[in-house]
A and B are shown apart, each in its own frame.
Chain A
Amino acid sequence: MYELDMLLKGFQTLLSQPFALLLSVVGVAVGIVIGALPGLTATMGVAILLPFTFGMDPLSGLLMICGVFFGGIYGGSVTAILLKIPGTPAAAATAMDGFELTKKGQAGIALGTATFSSFLGGTFSVLVLIFLAPVLASFALEFSASESFALAVFGLSIIASIAGKSVIKGLIAGFLGLLIATIGLDPMGGFPRFTGGYTELFSVPFIPVMIGLFAAAEAFKAMEDPAVRNGAAAMLSRIIPPWSTFRRILGTVVRSSGLGTVIGMIPGAGADIAAFVAYNEAKRFSKTPENYGKGELAAVAACESGANGCTGGALLTMLTLGIPGDAVTAVMLGALTLQGLQPGPLLFREHADLVFTLFAGMLVCYVLMLVIGLSSLRVMGRILQMPKSVLTPVILALCIVGTYAINNSMFDIAIMLAAGVVGYFMQKWDFPASPVVLALIMGPMAEANFRRALSLSNGSYDFLYNRPITAILLIIAGFTLLFPLVRGFMRRSKAAKGATRDAALAPNPAGGAE
C-alpha cells in the first residue's frame, strides 16, 4: 500500500511541524466563524486569507486554507440550525429541517448531528481523495455542458421534494427564483438582461437574495413580537446524539458523503448543490419521507455530510488535473501556484512527500473541526437565550455587514433588504424560501449549459439522449418530479379507504401550521 505508507510518513512529517498544526487550528476556527456569518462564505474566507499565506511555507499556508475551506462549509450549519440564517448557500438546505428541530427544542442534538455528519462526510471524501484520486480523476473530464445541464435540471426537480406543505406554492417560489435568475448578463451573448441600466445587476445577486429571504425575513418576523424569548426551546440539553439515533442515520450519512464527493468532483458544482441533492436522496430513501421539512434529524445529517463530502471531491480534481471542482478550489488553485506547486498529474510525482503530508493535515483539520465544533456548540447555543429584542437587531446588522462585504456594495444591501421584505410575506403566506435559492443556483447553470451544449453540437438536440450521463440524470430528474405526485396518489387511494383519515389530512395544506 503505497498510499498508506506515504500517509503515515505524512503524519510523521506533520508532527514535526507544530507551526503548520497551529495554523490549521487557526484556519478551522476562522473558517467556522466565517461560515457562520451570513454573506461570508468559504470562498471569501479562502480569498481573504490567501495573501497571508504568501510568506508561509507551502504546507502551513495550504493547511490554513484547507482549514478555512472545511470550517467554512461546516460553520454555515450552526446559524442555519439555531437561527435559520444559512451562513453559506449549502446551509440553506440544512436550515429547512435544522431550524424546525430548534423550534422543537432539539437544537443541541441537531447541532451535534450536523457536526458529526460534517466530520464524517469530510473525512470520507478526503480518504477517497487519498486512495482513489488517480482512478476517479478522469471522471470530471467526462462532464461537458450537456451533463452539467442535466445535473442542473435534476437540481431543479428537487424543488418538488423541498416544496414543503404545498407543492403548488413550492413551484411558485421556484419559478420566482428562476425569474430572478434571468436577470444579469446573458451567459452566451453577453448582453445585459433586465438590469435597468445598473451595472451592479450584471451578475445575479445571489447571496444578498439568500440572506434577505432567510435571515432578514426571520428578523423582520421576530420584530412582530420582540418580547418573546425562545425560553425552554433554547436549552441545549444534549449535543452528542445517542447511538440508537445515530445508527439510524448512518446509512444516510454514508450515501450523502458519497454523493457529495462525486458532485464535488464535477466542475462547476459545489457544496450547495451537494447539500440539496443529498437532502433529496435522503428523503427518497427514507421510510418516513413525510417527516422531511418538519424537523428530521436525518435531513440535517444528509445536507451536512453532502456539503462536506464535496470538499475532498473538489480537491481531488483540483490536485490531480488542475481543474477546480468549485469556487473555493478555484481560489486555492491560485494559492498552490503561488507556492510554486503546479497542480496536475505531475504534482503527485514531483512533490509526493508534500502532497501526502498535506493529506494527513487535511484529516487532522477535520478532527480539529470536530473538536472545535463540539466544544464551541454550547457557547454558540447561548445565542438562543438572548432576548429577541437584542438578537434581532444584531442579526439585521450582521445581514447588512455580511452583504456589504461580498462586493463592498451598498446596492447589494438594498437587494438584501428588498428580498427580506419579500421573504417576510412569503413566510406569512406559507411560501417556502428554499426553492427560490435552489432555482437561483440551478437556473443559470441550466440555462448557460443548455445553450452551450447546443452550441457545441452545432444546434442538434441529440445530446439529450445519446450521452449516457446526461440521459440518466434527466431520467432521474423526471422521476424526482413525478415521485411526490405518485406518492400523493397512492396515499389518496389509501386514504379513500378510511374516510376519517382523509378529513384529517385535508386542512393541512391550506392552513399555516405555525
Chain B
Amino acid sequence: MKSYLSVSCAVAATVVSVGLMTAGASAAEYPFKPIELIVPYAAGGGTDLVARAFADAAKKHLPQSIGVVNKTGGAGAVGLSEIMAARPDGYKIGVGTVEITMLPHMGVARFSVDDFTPIARLNAEPSAITVNADAPWKTVEEFLAHAKANPGKIRIGNSGTGAIWHLAAEALQDKAGVKFNHIPYDGANPAVTALLGNHIEAVTVSPAEVVNHVSAGKLRILAVMADKRATNFPDVPTLKEKNIDLAVYTWRGIVVPKKTPQNVVDTLRLAAKNTADEQAFRDSLAKMNLTHAYADGPEFRAVMEKDNAFFKDLMTKLGMAK
C-alpha cells in the first residue's frame, strides 16, 4: 500500500514536471527531449548503420539522445514521406538518401526535393564498373569497346529497376553510346553474387559493396563514376580520366522537414558538423568500407539539386518519369 502511494506520488510529480517543461518549451533551448531519427531502410543495412553510428557519436554534441527508428517500405518512399510530413520542430528528423531526388520523378512519392531542408551529408559512394576477375577486359576502354561491338550482349546487374545503380548503368550507356542488357536484382548483394557466378558480365554497384571480393581476387573494378579516385582503390581510374563526363553517387545525410525553424536547423547543423568530425564516427564508417563525405547544409543542398535535375533528365529520357 505504501509503495503504491509513493509510486503514485512519483507519477504525479513526473506529470507536473513534464507539464512545466512543455510550458517552458518555447523558451527552452532546443532540444529538450530526445530526437527521433527516421531511417527509411531496414535495420542492419548500410543506411541504417550510418544512422546508428551518427546517433551514437552525436551524444557528445547534443544535450539529448537520438533514437533511430526504421520505417521501411516502398524503396524508401514510406520513410521519406514520414520525414517530410513530420511536425517541423526538430524532434523527428531523418536520414535522407539519393532516392529523395529519384522517387518523385517516378510518380511513386508524395514529396519532392524541395520538401526537405538538408542539414548535412555524411557519406557518399560512387558507382563503379566491376567485372569478374576471369573476364577478358582489363580496362574500361576494352570493356566499352566490346559493348559497342556487341550491343545488348553485355548484361549489367543492378540493385533494382529505377534504383540508383540501374540509373548509373543507364547514364553510362547514354554517355558512352553503347547498349547494355540491364538485369535487376533484389538489392546489390544478389547482383554481386550473380557476377561472382559469371551469370552476368558486370555490375555498377559501389566499390564498398564489392571490396571483399576485389581484395580476394575474384572481381575487378574497371572504373569509378566519381570526381576523384577512391582512397581504397588508388589504382582504379575515374570515368572522367577516360573522357566520359559522368559521376553518379549515392549519398546519405541528415534532413528535416522544410518548415523547420532556423534556430533548430542551425543547432542541428553545428551538432552534425561536430559529430561528423568525431574520430569514432570516422572509424565506424571506415570499418564498414564507407566513405566519409561530410558536406554542410548549403553544399548538401547544391548536391541534391544537381542530382534532382540529373535524374529528372535521365528518367524522362528513359521513359521512366511520370
Q: Most chain-B CB neighbours within 10 Å: which of A203, A408, A455?
A: A408
Select one of B42, B190, B196 contacting A268, CB under 8 A: B190
> Min CB distance, B100 to chain A, in Å?
14
Chain B's closest residue to A146 (CB) is B199
Asked if A47 CB lies within 8 Å of chain B CBs, one says yes
Q: Which residues of A contact B75 (CB under 8 A)?
A: 185, 190, 202
Residues of chain B lying within 8 A (CB to CB) of residue A145 = 194, 199
Which of B189, B199, B288 is within 8 Å of A456, CB to CB?
B199
Chain B neighbourhood of A344, CB < 8 A: 212-213, 215-216, 218
B178 to chain A, nearest CB (A): 16
**Residue from A47, A50, A323, A335 with most neighbouring chain B CB atoms (10 Å):** A323
Q: Which of A144, A190, A337 contacts B197 (CB 8 A)?
A: A144
The 8 Å CB contact of B288, one of A324, A337, A448, is A337
Compute how far the CA of A488 lies from the CA of B218 in the bound complex, rounded to whole angstroms. 51
A345 & B152 in contact (Cβ 8 Å cutoff)? no
Specify which chain A residues have a CB less than 8 angstroms from the CB of B42 in the assembled complex: 47
Stretch at the interface among B15-23, B65-73, B90-98, B222-230: B65-73
What separation, in Å, do the CA atoms of A321 and B44 have in the docked complex? 19
**Considering only CB atoms, which chain A residue lies closest to B160 in the complex?**
A190
CA distance A342 to B214 in the complex (A): 11
Fill in one digit per residue for A279-297: 1 if any B CB lies within 8 Å of its CB, else 0.
0000000000000000000
Q: Which residue in chain B gives the minimum CB-CB distance to A349?
A: B216
Please state if B196 and A323 are interface contacts (CB–CB under 8 Å).
Answer: yes
Q: A142-B197, A342-B215, A452-B185 known; A407 and B108 CB under 8 Å?
A: no
Minimum CB–CB distance for A57 against chain B, Å: 14
Q: A408 with B184: in contact, given A203-B74, A337-B288 (CB under 8 Å)?
A: no
Residues of B within 8 A of A345 (CB): 216, 218
Residues of B within 8 A of A48 (CB): 43
Flag if A202 contacts B73 (CB, 8 Å): yes
Distance (whole angstroms) from the CB of B36 to the closest CB of chain A: 10
- The answer to whether A190 and B287 touch across the interface, beta carbons within 8 angstroms, is no
Q: Is A51 an interface residue (CB 8 A)?
A: yes
Residue numbers in A under 8 Å from B48 (CB-CB): 47
A192 within 8 A of B: yes
A286 → chain B, closest Cβ, in Å? 35
Instruction: Give the docked Cα–Cα distance between A200 and B72 (Å).
Output: 9
Question: Which residues of B lie under 8 Å from residue A342 when comparing CB positions?
Answer: 211-212, 215-216
Interface residue? A244 (CB, 8 A): no
* B86 interface residue (CB < 8 Å to A): no
Hey, which chain B residues are within 8 Å of A495, CB to CB?
Answer: none
CA gap between A354 and B302 in the complex, in Å: 46
Output the least CB separation between A258 and chain B (Å).
23
Tell which of B106, B110, B197, B287 has the most Cβ of chain A within 10 Å. B197
B286-298, CB under 8 A of A: which get 1 and which 0?
0111000000000
On chain A, the residues within 8 Å of B197 by CB distance are: 140-144
How many Å from the CB of A444 to the closest CB on chain B?
9
Is B113 interfacial (CB 8 A cutoff)?
no
Q: With a 10 A CB-CB cut-off, give which of A187, A199, A322, A334 has the most chain B CB atoms.
A: A199
Set A143, A144, A346: member contacting B216, Cβ < 8 A: A346
A145 to B183, CA, bound (A): 10
A408 x B189 contact (CB < 8 A): no
Query: CB within 8 A of A458: which of B78, B181, B212, B218?
Result: B181
Contacts of A44 in B (CB 8 A): 43
CB of A511 within 8 Å of the partner chain: no
Chain A positions within 8 Å of B215 at CB level: 342, 344, 346
In the bound assembly, the distance between CA atoms of A337 and B199 in angstroms comes to 26
A346 to B216, alpha carbons, bound, how many Å? Answer: 6
Contact B213 A334 (CB under 8 A): no
Which residues on the B side are within 8 Å of A203 (C-beta)?
73-74
Q: Which of B13-54 contact A (CB under 8 A)?
A: 42-46, 48-49, 52
Q: Which of A50, A408, A452, A455 contacts B44 (CB 8 A)?
A: A50
Q: Which of B163, B212, B289 contacts A343, CB < 8 Å?
A: B212
Contact yes or no, A192 B108, CB < 8 A: yes
Residues from chain B with Cβ under 8 Å of A190 in the complex: 75, 106, 160-163, 184, 320
Which residues 321-347 of A sit at the B interface, judged by CB distance below 8 A?
A: 321-324, 330-331, 333-335, 337-340, 342-346
Other-chain contact of B78, A192, A200, A334 (Cβ < 8 Å): A200
**With the chains together, A203 CA to B41 CA distance in Å?**
13
The reply to whether the CB of B276 lies closer than 8 angstroms to some CB of chain A is no
Say if the beta carbon of B200 comes within 8 Å of chain A.
yes
In contact, A338 and B43 (Cβ under 8 angstroms): no
Whether the Cβ atoms of B189 and A324 lie closer than 8 Å is yes
B43, chain A: closest CB distance, angstroms: 4
Shortest CB-to-CB span from A226 to chain B, Å, is 31
- A150 → chain B closest CB, angstroms: 14
Checking B49, B56, B108 against A199 with a beta-carbon cut-off of 8 angstroms, the contacting residue is: B108
Which residue in A54, A322, A338, A452 is a CB contact (below 8 Å) of B184? Answer: A452
Contacts of B44 in A (CB 8 A): 46-47, 50, 330-331, 334-335
A188 within 8 A of partner (CB)? yes
- B49-A338 in contact (CB<8A): yes
A188 touches B216 (CB 8 A): no
Residue A242 at the chain B interface, CB threshold 8 Å: no
Complex CA gap A50/B110 in Å reads: 32
* Residue A267 CB within 8 A of the other chain: yes
Q: How far is the CA of A47 from the CA of B46 in the complex (A)?
A: 12
**Complex Cα spacing A378 to B109, Å:** 51
- In the complex, what's the smallest C-beta–C-beta distance from A346 to chain B, in angstroms? 5
Give the distance in Å from the alpha carbon of A324 to the alpha carbon of B196 in the complex.
Answer: 13
Distance between B163 CB and nearest chain A CB, rounded to angstroms: 8
- Give the CA-CA distance A200 to B75 in the complex, in Å: 10
**A189 located at the interface, meaning its Cβ lies under 8 Å from any Cβ of chain B in the complex:** yes
Binary B-proximity of A445-466 (CB < 8 A = 1, otherwise 0): 0001000100110100000000
Query: Which residue of A is nearest B162, CB measured?
Result: A190
Beta-carbon nearest neighbor of B152 in chain A: A458
How far is the CB of A106 from the nearest CB of chain B, in Å? 38
Q: Which 3 A-B pairs have the closest CB atoms?
A: A190-B161, A47-B43, A331-B44
Chain B residues at the A interface, C-beta cutoff of 8 Å: 42-46, 48-49, 52, 56, 69-75, 77-78, 81, 106, 108-110, 152, 155, 160-163, 181, 183-186, 189-190, 192-194, 196-200, 211-213, 215-216, 218, 284, 287-289, 320
Subset of 27 A-B contacts with CB under 8 Å: A46-B44, A47-B43, A54-B284, A140-B193, A141-B197, A143-B197, A144-B199, A145-B194, A190-B163, A199-B78, A199-B108, A199-B110, A200-B78, A202-B75, A202-B77, A202-B78, A267-B193, A322-B216, A324-B189, A343-B212, A345-B216, A407-B73, A409-B73, A409-B78, A452-B185, A455-B183, A458-B152
Q: Could you list 17 further interchain pairs (A-B, Cβ under 8 angstroms) beyond the known A141-B196, A337-B288?
A: A46-B44, A47-B42, A141-B193, A144-B197, A187-B186, A190-B106, A190-B160, A192-B108, A199-B77, A200-B73, A334-B44, A334-B45, A345-B216, A407-B72, A455-B183, A456-B155, A456-B183
